[in-house]
């Protein structure tokens, strides 16, 4: 006779939306909104992130997506109670469905998102929080932000592709050091190791990210999308494959770009003498 399965632990209802979105000036500010849990990732938060990312990707009013956290944290990692304890009684198949949404938005969705993305790390960033930081195209942290891979301290390893995210950006020695010691580090150290692009004082963080987003908004959106995807694709290619791929992308751009930016830039540079590459964008 089959052993009856234990009843799953009930998950507490969210008192507020787990994700908030504000759109202004072409920038979508996506805020992980569980400040009482330091924005730990719950099933509800993951489901809502997927929904919002899908909506923003096709929204013509959005040119850049910024991901940040409410309160004094960016993301404290996975919500242990909701993702682990609540899934203990579930079958392997049910657990896979339970956790798939988390992986979907953290790296599968963000890695090749159609619009440029920026992680604005305003505070605590632990474990699974690394995934979205690395998957976003760019990342800016507050000097005061606190990063950590604390799994070693409670008998686990950083899973869910957290280690993949770490070793993709940080060097091998740094990855090993923080994985093995569980020590924390600040935004300045994160920048020096390549986990984020740069670190600024918390009081200047939003302005710096806004300025960076405006730089991206000024670019040809089709070219920007192709450039960022190509940059990520060629990492795993050898030199010959990369050369073939990049030449193919250039040819593809002639058909995909409604602005015909390459032709405009060439005309302005070669014929009209009104544009100098390296000193700004061509005139749209």
The tens digit of pLDDT for each residue in 170-185 reads 999 999 999 999 999 9
Is a pLDDT exceeding 80 seen at residue 220?
Answer: yes
Mean pLDDT, the chain, rounded, equals: 86
- From residue 83, alpha-carbon distances to 17, 106, 126 in Å are 18, 15, 16
**Residue 96 has what pLDDT?**
60
Instruction: Give the C-alpha separation, 191 to 160, whole Å.
Output: 23
Judged by average pLDDT, the poorest of 85-94, 170-179, 267-276 is: 85-94
pLDDT-based confidence at residue 2 (cuts at 50, 70, 90): very low
10 pLDDT higher than 80: no
Does residue 238 have a pLDDT over 60? yes
CA 32 to centroid of chain Cα atoms = 12
pLDDT at residue 120 tops 50: yes
Confidence of residue 250 (pLDDT cuts 50, 70, 90): confident
Rounded distance between C-alpha atoms, residue 46 and residue 180, angstroms = 28
């Amino acid at each position: 006779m089959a052993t009856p399965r234990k009843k799953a632990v009930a998950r507490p209802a969210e008192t507020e939306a787990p994700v908030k979105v504000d759109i202004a000036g072409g920038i979508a500010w996506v805020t992980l909104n569980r400040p009482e849990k330091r924005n730990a990732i719950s099933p509800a938060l993951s489901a809502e992130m997927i929904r919002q990312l899908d909506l923003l990707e096709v929204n013509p009013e959005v040119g850049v997506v910024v991901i940040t956290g409410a309160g004094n944290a960016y993301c404290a990692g996975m919500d242990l109670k909701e993702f682990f304890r609540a899934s203990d009684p579930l079958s392997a198949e049910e657990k896979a469905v339970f956790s798939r949404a988390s992986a979907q938005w953290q790296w599968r969705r963000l890695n090749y998102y159609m619009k440029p993305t920026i992680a604005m790390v305003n505070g605590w960033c632990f474990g699974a929080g690394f995934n979205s930081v690395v998957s976003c195209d760019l990342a800016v942290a507050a000097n005061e932000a606190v990063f950590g891979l604390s799994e070693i301290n409670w008998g686990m390893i950083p899973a869910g592709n957290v280690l993949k995210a770490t070793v993709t950006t940080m060097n091998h020695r740094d990855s090993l050091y923080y994985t093995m010691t569980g020590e924390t580090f600040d935004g300045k150290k994160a920048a020096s190791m390549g986990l984020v692009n740069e670190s600024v004082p918390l009081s200047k963080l939003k302005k710096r990210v806004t300025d960076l987003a405006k730089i991206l908004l000024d670019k040809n959106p089709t070219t920007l999308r192709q450039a960022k995807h190509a940059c990520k694709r060629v990492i795993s290619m050898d030199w010959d494959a990369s050369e073939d791929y990049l030449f193919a992308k250039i040819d593809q751009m002639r058909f995909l770009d409604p602005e015909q930016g390459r032709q405009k830039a060439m005309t302005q540079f070669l014929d009209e003498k009104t544009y100098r590459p390296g000193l700004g964008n061509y005139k749209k």
